[in-house]
Copies of this chain bind each other. A is one copy, B any other.
Amino acid sequence: MKPTIVDIAREAGVSIATVSKAIHNTGRMSEETRKKILTIMQDMNYRPNMMASALKGKSTYTVGLLIPDLSNPFSSEIARSVEDRGKELGYSVVMCNTDYDPEKEAWYISVLNQKRVDGIISASGFQNEDMLRDLVEQHIPIALITRDSKTVAVDTVTVDDFMGGYQATSYLIGLGHRRIGTIVLDLDNGRERLRGYKHALEEAGLPCDEKLILSGFTKEDGKEAAAKLMEYSEPPTAIVAGNDLLAIGVMLSAKERGIIIPDQLSVIGYDNTILAEITTPSLTTMNQPVGEMGRQVMDLLYQEITGKKKIKKRIVMAPELVIRESVKPPLS
């Protein structure tokens, strides 16, 4: 059996209270006693049982991370950065793939609750805002990344999606594109980016053709959408995709039709995942500073957990256009 504090105390010939103090380096005791206890702990390979200390009101030093789908590169980069910062702060992170399914969300929340995690980070938002509200009302520390809530005050780290959509679109406009299609994500983020897209068109005095606005999520969606767009009598000369996978779908579809990217069609992705650098041509895309975001969201949660901060904070980061090879001015 694993040694307990009692075993250590017995072995050291002291009381468990003294051992506890030695573990946490608190209280005062003779150097001698402390050393002796520490040595014995070492020898017996003693690890304090966190369950027990958590029971006494201490933290569990564990947080939950709700994420749409870990096998998606953007998600997994977020997970990685959150975990990295968590580790630095001494927290373990439990991963939870929600697939945007409200039932899974509810299940995970309930489990995390039973495990008395110190806090929760969600990268998948809450399909059901009531759940978020409950959590906040129960004073469970929570922070969102890449997502926001319209109705609940909560810590968030997001990227300015409006600006992202705007920048991507006006970059194309600046290059001379006049007919620009877009494939939007069916999420709040997507809607904001769409607003940015529309704003850029408007600002340039360009009409907004609703037929050029499609939606989707996966590579296949991208293929389908591109196919549709390219069959129009007046096809777009450029497409702004809601994520890199969609953009790749567009590229694949173009290839099938013998349309050359970027000469005959320009494409911009979103997220700057690892995928963007390995396509041919490589993908111009909007970067979200994932590493920094993960770090920040964990920090926010940490402050919330340790009670260092009472006011909810929203951190908004700027997206950044990463220029590669998939965009060119249109054929005049």
List the interface of chain A (C-beta within 8 A of B): 2, 47-52, 54-55, 60, 62, 69-71, 73, 75-77, 79-80, 83-84, 87, 92-97, 107, 110-116, 138, 219, 248, 252, 255, 274-275, 278-280
Contacts and interface: CB of A to CB of B under 8 A. Distances in A.
Contact of A97 (B47, B83, B114, B115): B83
Contacts of A69: 80
B70 A80 contact: yes
A66 B100 CA distance: 25
Contact of A94 (B49, B55, B75, B94): B94
Q: How many copies does the complex hold?
A: 2
B62 A70 contact: no
Contacts of A113: 47
B275 A114 contact: no
Give the one of A2, A51, A84, A219 with max B CB within 10 A: A51
A52 B79 CA distance: 29
Contact of A76 (B54, B62, B71, B112): B71
B84 A97 contact: yes
Given A71-B77, A79-B70, A83-B70, A114 B278 contact: no
A51 B54 contact: yes
Contacts of A94: 62, 92-95
A111 B92 contact: yes
Contacts of A84: 97
Given A92-B94, A92-B112, 10 more contacts: A47-B113, A47-B114, A51-B54, A70-B76, A71-B274, A79-B95, A95-B95, A219-B278, A248-B278, A275-B278
B47 A51 contact: no
Given A47-B114, A51-B54, A93-B95, A255 B275 contact: no
Contacts of A52: 51, 55
16 contacts: A2-B138, A47-B110, A49-B114, A51-B51, A51-B115, A51-B116, A55-B55, A70-B80, A79-B95, A83-B95, A92-B112, A93-B94, A93-B95, A219-B278, A274-B275, A279-B279
Contact of A274 (B73, B96, B252): B73
Nearest to A77: B71
Given A50-B116, A116-B49, A97 B80 contact: yes
A111 B90 CA distance: 9
Contacts of A62: 94, 115
A211 B62 CA distance: 49
A52 B54 CA distance: 9
A248 B275 CA distance: 11
Contacts of A60: 51, 115
A230 to B, nearest CB: 19
A136 B228 CA distance: 58
A114 B50 contact: yes
